[in-house]
Structure 1
Amino acid sequence: MRLILPVIIGIVLARVSGAAVPPVLCFVAALMLLSLALLLYAQRRRRIWHDKLLTILFYLFVVLCAVSRYSLVHQEKEAMWLYERCQGQLLAWVAEIDAPPVQKQRYIEAEVRLLVYRDTEGIWRQLKRGCRVLLRIQDSLRVHIGDRLLLKTQLATFAPPSEPDGFDYRLYMHNQNIYLSSWAKAGSYVRLERSAHLWQGIRRGIALWQEHLKRGLSQAGLKQSAGVLLALSLGDKSLLQQDTKQLYADTGASHVLAVSGLHVGILFLLMQWLWQPARRPALRWAFLLTTLPLLWGYALLTGASPSVLRASLMFSLFSLASCMNRTTNAYNTLALSAFLLLLLNPMLLFHLSFQLSYMAVLGILFFYPRLSGLWQPRFTFLRKVYELLCVSVAAQLTTLPLTLLYFRQLPLASLPSSLLVVPPAPFLLLASFVLALLILLHAPTGLTTLLSKTLLSIQGFIETALEVLREALPPVAMPYWNTVDSLIVCGLLLLLVLYLTKEMPFRPFVACSAIVLVLGSTYNIYKQYALHKEARMYVWYNARHKHCEVWLVKGREVWRSEPLCCNRRAWRISWKERSVCVVNAPIDTTNLWTKAPDILVWNSHRTIPSRYVQASQLFLLGPSASKWQEKMLQQASKKLYDLRKLGVWSISENSPIE
């Protein structure tokens, strides 16, 4: 449990610093700290401060190891180096498909690994650490994991959000350790031989089995319910309609559609019920040898998401400890699973599924025993319903800061929806697999029809009940929630934990701290609300039209520069007694405006006029601006922002220019 915190600190430090420290240097520093700790430990006359110093050195060693591991996995430097080297040119490169391809409406999307590329001298070269690319193929070509392609395409970076406060797809892909994308048209690629690697062959076989099961469920005549059953059993949301997604999201039941620890727990409990290892000690190893392949096979079959990996690893550790007659601590097992996953892939720390999964389990482990002990119903049915309600409350308490931060809404129907969708989930999961296998084995039509109609009736009842819940308890939108509010809620949860564990028995202090945090959150929300009520100006780079764009927003009123100014190379507006000048293409600078603007948006490789450099207060540089322009402005000590890194820059009507 004590190891996971320094690991997280090390990964966050490496992320904030942009992995600027070489991993070899971090590893050498970690070895030096370890050597110093061993020298102190080997001393015969140990003093009191030796133990504290050894603890500090050990934690620093773990932090440096985490930084080194993140720097080894991080691929941004290699990807950006290759992009700058081949920017605007067709690049010949060989790629290997590294993840199951996804069939979109007009193209195929796949995550590939760049193996080799041909440089300007015609020599095939290989990157030191490799590079992952998001490849979109404009064809109906059937590709699988392990297939290799020879391509001649352009590499591109991901565009910033297309609108202010919109979904940042670029940040999402960066969290997946993918920094480049490419579009392969028909005729720009050739399929090569498949990879002979054993692991890729296993993954390809699993992907084929997944396609067979998907085809079996699609042929069952379930129509709209096929998408829900596919998402429930395999985690495949390709057939899931947008209305159904929104229904589950508004009622707080979307966790059922994503394969998570709930599904792995269902399979584990099923195997535990079949073998009953607690009653038959001689069969414990047989239980272990049959359960672990099932859990990890299902994890690979569903795409090995962080939540499934966490659950499979935890159940594996519990089973192994049970077979060895060892007692286990749930918190240590949870921390060990997180440590192993982050050791394998440090980028998982920034995945939303990883954060929600571990926070939910942590809440269940801590709050569920305390909530369930508050009431002990006599009737079995009421006791089971109350236990399920306690599990839902415990999980939602710890995931509340993340839910409000990422989704900006509070689903009021989450508790009743959990009572509605979780109990039938085991039957739907197992029945979906049975139905798919029956169809693939060409079972009698009457049996498959009966099972499909049963699934259709259950799913129809669930969706009808969820619609009623959404109308009765609609979600509360919280557009002004930000990171500070989530941190305040985390502080309140920490105070509650300290109070319940009797680590902080002084009740007035706890109450005063909670009141201060609540008042701080209320003030922050009000401040954000007041800022959104003010008129604001947003400036960002529109990658689709390749020009910088300006929006003026006040409440629901929006003025966009795109319809009026997208065809003009340079234009100027006046807003709140501030002049804004935008230059989007190479232009004769001598014919520009004589009076310098307050804010200059420069998206051109031409030299910025000296009168603007001297008089303008703020400069925003677009992707077309060169590095020497940035150095010139820095030497002139001007306020400068790079839209390529910043994404969106905004200012309110009452804020100074900064």
Structure 2
Amino acid sequence: MVIKWAPNAFIRLVLPLMAGILTYLYIGSQLPDFRLLLVGLVLLFLLVQFWAARRTSPGATDAAGLLAMLVLYAAGLTFTQQGTESRAPDHLYRFGNRVEFYRAVVDDYTVVRPATYATTVRVSAVRVAGQWGPARGGIRVSIPRDDSTAAPQYGDVWLVRGAPAPSKAPLNPGEFDYRRYLAYHQVYHQQFIHPDQYQRIAIAPPSQLRAMAMRAARVLDGVFRQYVHAKREYALASALVLGIKDEVDQETKQAYANTGTTHIMAVSGLQVGLLFGAVTWLLSLLPGRRERVFRLLTALLGLTVIWSYAFLTGLSASVLRAAVMFSFIIIARATGRQTSMYNLLAVAAFFLLCYDPYLLCDVGFQLSFLAVLSIVYLQPRIAGWFEPEEYFLDRQRPWQSKAVQKSWKWLGKGVNYIWQAMALSLAAQVATFPLGLFYFHQFPLSFLLSNLVAVPISSGAVYVGLLLLVLKGAVALVGLASPGIAQVLNYGPKGVAWLFERMVWAFNEYIFWIGRSMPGALVSGIHVTTPQVWLIGGVLLAVLVFIALKKLPWLAVACALLGLFAGSRVWAAHQLAPDEQLVIYSIPRRSVVGFWHGAAAEIVTVDSLPLSETERTYRIVPGIIQRDARRVMYRQGWQRSQVPTAVAEPGLTLVVWRGRPVAFINDRLSGATQPASGLTAIVLRRNARVQPTELAALFGTAAPIVFDSSCKSWYVLRQDSLLRAAGFQTHDVTLHGAFIVRAGQ
């Protein structure tokens, strides 16, 4: 497994660039402006390179090479620094809540949710103290979805009243850090905008090309909507070919996630690769393909097809990544450059990261490149373990009939196809395994069986879906000249659409069947930390090096890393075992409290209503996964809870946690309420009608006041100032996240 640097020069370039990007992501806020330093390093490199070119000693060349790596490291750091929009002097952060109005343009796709539309707007100007001035910044906005509100369109220019709020940190333990996700996309604010808060004043798309691409994608989506009649099949067809997943229901998304086939629904490398393969195969049938001019013409055709598809799917980020990757492959083949796939991947990654350093944080970018890298290296090696065609050809005998001999031959080809597909799926899983655990907290053991059938069917469906779009386009063109002929020709698209819908139906049914037949094949609830991901990756890499070089020290390294990983898991469990927490959760319009002891928990819905699947999945389960909890009980109301409780009166419940009471108040207190001391917290629910003096007289001012999520914002705003003036400490879980008390505090 020795790396030959000559054909893989860009690997040496992309690694220091990535190191510089990572350095900024971890400690960038503490670093000064690096632009002058980068310029100085570039000038120094040019001088050293000029000097080294006049020397024959290897040391001079090595010095220039090391300096080049330092320049790329500084470039990665500087590019990321300059690409961080929040550093700009006119960023929204500098204005705080003083913004009265702002002007912004819709700069992203609109996500259609059951009750809202969500999109991203980019600010161009703000009004502060009656004066307009330039500003910049991204805001993730949501607006109500109803019959009177039109969906935001790319390029809509809005005038919005009010100041956006900085993006919220995760509100509950283990919850997805949406604030960090937005920051990686240069969005640092969020706002829920009511219909009377904004007005569309113009249409000015930031990119006319992208605007046309989005319109084209919607037109093609209309073709599927017209010809694919079943709602579920239409939703999946649009996601499969165009990447539009607005209509895919949650049950379908979960079924694909449980079987490891979610990647099929995202238009990315699979679809672009299928187009690349189809174009390559068709061009291979033409004569004269060895001539240089022919290679250049076919390369131009291949690039045209791939980038046309990227355009027709709305120029989404995932398709653009795949298009760039395959473009480098096409250009390398056309120019006859003898370069390796590893170098081509490094070239694509290098230019993409120079364009947007924050792509390194993108889950799709990481998984795409790791999967392709693993397939390129491992798939031929895994496939080489078994040669089905040779095996079955050896079964042929001279005395057998021709039919029997042909059956052996075709059986070998069929088994070889299956084995090649399994090898590809296994290879892709090896490199993406650690990241799959880290991001999705699960591993589908059924991935081989799922992908074995799902990928071929979905690939065929993509080809048929694209054929439907081409035929519909041809019929539409004929219809401009002769509507009558177009009406007859329309039976062609209808026939293809019928086949397309049947294929999508079969594909979908197979995925659901796998989920029903193998309910225990999904290993879920796995939590690994960032260092543990690196340890798992290190183990896999060391094992691969050992297999390639057959040297025992590498196996020892793998065992040592595996021991460190196991030790980290044991240490985390040891640290967690005595940990006890009281958690007042932040769940909109709900009153939920958790009593944690190590890996066991009791979750009580104080309002006696069960948690919905969405509330449990996104608010509670992440914390369960983070603590690797094994015994979690959900209780509806205090009556079913095992926690000692005492209802002092209809509006007051005292819960004893670790020998200290916690008061839950949801109504007016009567004069007969007995004073209590030593409280852990006082939780106000449902806009409880209490006065600060009343609370101070009964409980004192030592215990913090917690407003749970059932309290309205106007109530919290009014009571918070009064309670603080009376000497209380307050905590609003809606604004500041879950209230957590650890044993001993």
> Is the pair's TM-score, using the shorter chain for normalization, greater than 0.5?
yes
1:244 to 227, 244, 252: 252
Distance 2:55 2:654 in 1: 76
**2:611 maps to which residue?**
none
Match of 2:562 in 1: 518
1:141 and 2:153 are equivalent in the alignment:
no
Quick one: distance in 2 between partners of 1:191 and 1:622? 34
Give 1:86 deviation, angstroms.
4.2
Q: Is the 8 A contact 1:307 1:353 kept in 2?
A: yes
Residue pair 1:160, 1:170 contacting (<8 A) in 2 also: yes
Go from structure 1 to structure 2 and tell me whether the alpha carbon gap of 1:403 and 1:30 turns closer, same or farther (over 3 Å shift). Answer: same
- Between 441-450 and 246-255, the greater mean CA deviation after superposition: 441-450
Q: Distance in 1 between matches of 2:55 and 2:300?
A: 49
CA distance in 2, matches of 1:119, 1:517: 56
Residues 259-278 of structure 1 mapped to structure 2, 5 A cutoff:
259-276=267-284, 278=289
Q: Which has the higher mean CA deviation after the structures are superposed, 110-119 or 98-107?
A: 98-107
For residue 150 of structure 1, give the secondary structure of its aligned residue in structure 2: strand
1:551 matched to which residue of 2? 594
SS of structure 1 residue aligned to 2:102: strand
Question: In the TM superposition, what is the alpha-carbon distance from 1:53 to its structure 2 partner?
Answer: 4.5
Q: Structure 1 residues 225, 465: CA separation in 2 closer, same or farther (over 3 Å shift)? A: same
Kindly provide the amino acid, as one letter, of the partner of residue 238 in structure 1: D
2:393 counterpart residue number: none
Aligned residue runs from structure 1 range 391-430, under 5 A: 391-430=424-463
Give 1:76 shift. 3.3
Residues 234 and 302 in structure 1, CA contact (< 8 A), matched pair in contact too: yes
Give the match for residue 203 of structure 1.
Answer: 210
> Per-residue displacement from partner, 1:457-500 (whole Å, max 9, x unpaired)?
32332333323322343333342421243222101111023224
Q: Is the 8 A contact 1:79 1:180 kept in 2?
A: no
Aligned to 1:176: 185
| SS in structure 2 at match of 1:237 | coil
> Which one of 66, 90, 107 corresponds to residue 76 of structure 2?
66
RMSD of aligned Cα (Å): 3.9
**Residues 476/590 of structure 1: CA separation in 2 closer, same or farther (3 Å cut):** same
For residues 406-462 of structure 1, the C-alpha deviation after alignment (integer angstroms, 9 at most, x for no partner) is 111110110111111111223211222333455573655644443333233323323
Tell whether 2:546 aligns with 1:499: yes
- Confirm or deny: 8 A CA contact 1:601 1:622 kept in the other structure: yes
Greater shift in the superposed pair: 412-421 or 578-587? 578-587
Structure 2 counterpart of 1:168, which letter?
Answer: D
Structure 1 position 305, deviation (Å) = 4.3
Q: Which segment is superposed worse, 420-429 or 98-107?
A: 98-107
Matched ranges for 1:296-307 at <5 A: 296-307=307-318
Would the alpha carbon gap of residues 102 and 471 (structure 1) be closer, same or farther in structure 2, given more than 3 Å must change? closer
2 CA distance for matches of 1:334 and 1:540? 48
1:254 counterpart letter in structure 2: T
Q: Which residue of 2 aligns with 1:229?
A: 237
Q: Highest Rg: 1 or 2?
A: 2
Return the letter of the residue paired with 1:327: Q
- Which residue does the alignment assign to 2:386? 375
With 417-426 and 273-282 compared, the bigger mean Cα shift is at: 273-282
Superposition TM-score, scaled by structure 1 size: 0.82
TM-score (norm 2): 0.73
Equivalent pair of 1:11/1:346 in contact (CA under 8 Å): yes
> Does the 8 A contact of 1:154 with 1:183 survive in 2?
no
Kindly state the Cα deviation for residue 529 of structure 1 after the two structures are TM-superposed: 5.4
Alpha-carbon contact 1:118-1:125 (below 8 Å) kept: yes
Shift of 1:78: 5.4
Query: Aligned partners of 1:368 and 1:514: how far apart in 2?
Result: 22
Aligned residue among 329, 339, 345 for 1:334: 345
Q: Please state if 1:386 is matched with 2:433.
A: no
Q: Aligned partners of 1:491, 1:373: CA distance in 2, in Å?
A: 24
How many angstroms does 1:229 deviate by?
Answer: 0.8
- For structure 1, which segment, 202-211 or 425-434, has the greater mean C-alpha deviation from structure 2 after superposition? 425-434
Matched, 1:117 2:137: no
What do residues 254-277 of structure 1 show as CA deviations (whole Å, max 9, x unaligned)? Answer: 111111211101111121222227
The corresponding residue for 1:450 is 495
1:446-485 equivalences under 5 Å are 446-474=491-519, 475-483=521-529, 484-485=531-532
The alpha carbon displacement at 1:238 in A equals: 0.8
Q: 8 Å contact 2:14–2:350 — kept in the other structure?
A: yes
SS in 1 for 2:140: strand
Task: Say how many residue pairs are matched.
Answer: 614
CA distance in 1, matches of 2:344, 2:682: 56
Q: Is the 8 A contact 2:272 2:306 kept in 1?
A: yes
Q: Separation in 2 of the partners of 1:234 and 1:373? A: 35
SS at match of 2:124: strand
Deviates more, 1:478-487 or 1:77-86: 77-86
Mean CA deviation greater in 156-165 or 227-236? 156-165
Q: Are the equivalent residues in 1 in contact too, given 2:706–2:733 (CA < 8 A)?
A: no
Residue of structure 1 equivalent to 2:667: none
2:579–2:742 Cα contact (<8 Å) kept: yes
Alpha-carbon separation, structure 1, partners of 2:654 and 2:725: 16
Is the CA contact (8 Å cut-off) linking 1:30 and 1:64 kept in structure 2?
yes
Aligned partners of 2:495 and 2:683: how far apart in 1?
66
**Match for 1:163 among 152, 168, 172?**
172
User: Where does residue 258 of structure 1 map in the other structure?
Assistant: 266
User: Equivalent of 1:216, from 205, 223, 232?
Assistant: 223
Q: How far is the alpha carbon of 1:231 from its aligned partner? A: 0.8
Change (3 A) 1:610 1:50: farther
CA distance in 1, matches of 2:44, 2:692: 62
| CA distances 1:354-381 after superposition (whole Å, capped 9, x unpaired) | 1111110111111112112222221222
Q: Is the 8 A contact 1:213 1:433 kept in 2?
A: no
Show the counterpart of 1:348: 359
SS of the residue corresponding to residue 168 of structure 2 reads coil
Q: CA deviation at 1:145?
A: 2.2
Contact 1:150/1:189, CA 8 A, preserved across alignment: yes
Q: Give the superposition deviation at 1:17.
A: 2.2
| Equivalent residue runs for 1:4-19 within 5 Å | 4-19=14-29
SS at match of 1:3: helix
SS in 1 for 2:211: helix
Question: Counterparts of 1:237 and 1:83 in 2: how far apart (Å)?
Answer: 33
Contiguous gaps of at least 5 residues in structure 2:
1-10, 390-411, 477-485, 609-636, 639-651, 661-678, 708-715
Question: Relative to structure 1, is the Cα distance of residues 457 and 610 closer, same or farther in structure 2, using a 3 angstrom cutoff?
Answer: closer
Q: Structure 1 stretch 368-377 or stretch 89-98: which is displaced more?
A: 89-98
The aligned residue for residue 633 of structure 1 is: none
The partner residue of 2:373 within 362, 374, 379 is 362
Matching residue of 1:486: 533
Q: Given that residues 171 and 733 in structure 2 are in contact (C-alpha distance below 8 angstroms), is that contact kept between their aligned partners in structure 1? A: no
Alpha-carbon distance between aligned partners in 2 of 1:471 and 1:94, rounded to the nearest angstrom: 50
Separation of aligned partners in 2, 1:518 and 1:50? 41
